[in-house]
A = this chain, B = another copy of it.
Amino acid sequence: MKVMRDPVHGHVELDELAVSLMDTPRMQRLRRIRQLGLSNLVYPGANHTRFEHSLGAHHLATTLAGEIDSVQQSEIDELRVAAMLHDIGHGPLSHVTEGIIKKYTRREHEDVKHLLRKGDIAEVCSDAGLNISSIADHILGKTSLGQIINSEIDVDRMDYLIRDAHYTGVAYGLVDHSRLIHKMQFYEDKLVVTEGGLNAAESLLVSRFLMHPSVYFHHVTRISETMITRGIEYLIEQEKLNPSSLQEMDDYSLFETMRRDDGYAGEMINRIDERKLYKRALYVGFDDVDEKVLGHRKAIQRVEKEIAEEAGINEEEILIDIPKLPRIEEMKALIKVNGKKMTLDKASHLVATLEKAHRDNWKLGVYTPREHREKVKKIATDFFEVKKQTRQYKLTDI
């Protein structure tokens, strides 16, 4: 039994199996992948990694599984392995490369069976007599037990909300995870929150709601992550980067690969290194535009080109960010009330409103170098038919 210190959960115990997994090169790589992509440009403390998050998820999964009677030890071990390994499919900067990996390799980051079958991990699992297919299915949330690590309310979310709040210093990530874990049970093969856990479940959803505009969708993060994403795509298109290698890289090799480029990718990473970021030319909420702007999501580069041409600037100097409308999957988490299962939004007026409330935080952003800002603002405002008298955040309102 090895004890690790975790600033979030205190002392975290790891048995021999967990230590063997942790010591594999694939897990060690996560020590060099930031959990929150480029959020550290906004929150200087946000340098935490997928590695410690994986230990945290493993710790919470172990705790939660320990409160369930109905499963066997080997099943629990498979679940615990899955919790430890659930993020090994991430590329550099976590979610930042997630879309690119998916676009070019058709793989979600949770789809890791091919990684489990190789090298040290396969060996550790085989020595422990564990089934790799089951582990892969747990990670995908396709099994009953797997709901503990991948479902509407799971230990993955609990850990990252608390951890992200801890390292950003934001006050909002306060989930009552101890109570929540204590109040979760399996019922008719589904992981449910029992009645005394309703408030704790609400706290998780509200925490995520408040973290969204402050952290996950902070405009500086969106700008810099859009910038670096475009740089990476440029490298791939120039055949200077093989997209299938991303799952082997870490933040260090990504930055250096980009730095060695003397074209657009090099410019982007240089701007990020020196924090000379594009600025907001347009930044408006959902009430300020017509819903049809969502239609542009499929053809963003065409729109960028169109606006760039009108502004007489290079199309690479316009970045447009049109997020999806939020879906709050957690609303459909199950709660058991009076012996009956229902979804959380049926049991809580607060939860029922969250999807709508999240729209308050949706923002359409158009970003460009500082010097083109005024010009682009005017053109983009027309293009997206932004309503007059609209609320626009000032840059000083960060």
Task: List A residues at the B interface (Cβ < 8 Å).
Answer: 2-8, 10-11, 23, 25, 28-29, 31-32, 40-41, 43-45, 47-49, 51-52, 55, 166-172, 174-176, 178-179, 182, 194-196, 199, 202-203, 206, 209-210, 213-214, 251-253, 255-256, 259, 273-275, 337-338, 347-350, 352-354, 356-357, 359-360, 389-394, 397-398
Contacts and interface: CB of A to CB of B under 8 A. Distances in A.
A25 B274 contact: yes
B48 A169 contact: no
Contact of A44 (B52, B337, B357, B398): B52
Contacts of A274: 25, 28
A48 B2 CA distance: 24
Contacts of A252: 251-252, 255-256
Nearest to A398: B196
Contacts of A32: 255, 273
Copy number in this complex?
4
Nearest to A25: B274
The 6 closest A-B pairs by CB, nearest first: A353-B353, A5-B169, A349-B357, A196-B397, A256-B256, A350-B357
A181 to B, nearest CB: 10
A256 B349 CA distance: 44
A2 B43 CA distance: 13
Given A5-B43, A47-B47, A338-B389, 11 more contacts: A2-B398, A4-B44, A7-B168, A8-B45, A28-B274, A45-B48, A171-B174, A172-B176, A196-B393, A196-B398, A338-B390
